[in-house]
Amino acid sequence: MTSRLGTLRLGTRRSLMATTQSQMVADAYTERTGQAIELVGITTFGDVTKAHLAQLGGTGVFVTALRDKLLDGEIDFAVHSLKDIPTTQDPRMTLAALPARHDHRDALVGPVKFADLAPGARVGTGSPRRIAMLSALRPDLQYVPIRGNADTRIGKVASGELDAVVLAAAGLARLGRESEIAQVFEVEEVLPAPGQGALVVECLTERADLVSFLGVLDDPRTRSAVAAERAVLAALEAGCAAPVGAFAVDDGHTLNLTASVVAIDGREAVRKSAAGSPSEAAQLGRRLAAEMIAEGADRLMGEHSH
């Protein structure tokens, strides 16, 4: 079918990961609807600065530039990694589609499995959540904060600067780098970041025709699961830099949610699970967060919460 929307402009960060994700989404729309879509590359401040993400005020730095282009009318829609989207939604923007989620787990890239790394081995990750949860499993390793795209991070292992790095499994799969994964961490070991593995398609709320068109890729089970995870994050008032993990699964009847907050040294944690109706995902997340706070979760976050 031909569209009355004309060729749509999809804004994307210029990194290989971002353009790969955006092209995947563009292809899915074209396959489903016949709609012509062109990618528009945008450089964001978060891509060019050398500062650590936590110092930049968290993940919103990548999203802001794309939203500015939406508001300027330079692009029609944008694709983000959901974990980069602030939990407080800008009413001018609509999350028009959450396509079916990819792998939610964290992955270790290196020559050996996590348990086989030598004591004192250097493991790179830019995430306080990963550092806290990995420290709980192996306090005898050194966790080194790193930045940069997946290629840069994996390169630090190849060069011997680091013994291993931890990245999102979904991102490695999208880049065709699965063969370099030594181990994927199950959620019992390392709870992923809220929304990890999920992409989101965003456009201006006022463009009702576009909101409707983009909705064809929306996956209701992914949407309810990540709504619960993000509600935990919002209720804990934690930014991306806080050591908070959450993962939910909507089986079509019940939404099962697990969340945890871990002290940055890995020595203490509050971990809780709850189940409820997928239609009340956000309430389930808020309720679980309240139970966690009652057990001292906010104290564990310490200086990492906003």
Rounded distance, CA 232 to CA 128, Å? 17
The yes-or-no answer on residue 106 being catalytic is no
- Residue 191, both tokens: 């709870």
- 240 has catalytic annotation: yes
Of 240, 250, 272, 287, the active-site residue reads: 240
* Backbone phi, psi, residue 151, to 5°: -60, -45
203 is catalytic: no
- Active-site hit among 13, 67, 101, 130: 130
Of 129, 156, 174, 272, catalytic: 129
Is residue 299 annotated as part of the catalytic site, yes or no?
A: no
d(CA 158, CA 152) in angstroms, rounded, equals: 10
Quick check: is 230 catalytic? no
Token couple for 38 = 């062109």
Provide CB contacts within 8 A for 139, sequence distance 6+: 265, 266, 267
Q: Is 122 a catalytic residue?
A: no
Report how far residue 39's alpha carbon sits from residue 11's, in angstroms, rounded to the nearest whole number.
Answer: 6
**Residues 6+ positions from 254 with CB-CB distance below 8 Å:** 275, 276, 277, 278
**What CA–CA distance (Å, rounded) separates 114 from 118?**
9
The catalytic residue among 67, 69, 76, 84 is 84
Cα 244 to Cα 118: distance, rounded to the nearest angstrom: 27
Tokens standing for residue 25: 């989404």
- Among residues 67, 69, 122, 153, the one annotated as catalytic is 153
Q: Which residues are catalytic?
A: 83-84, 129-130, 147, 153, 240
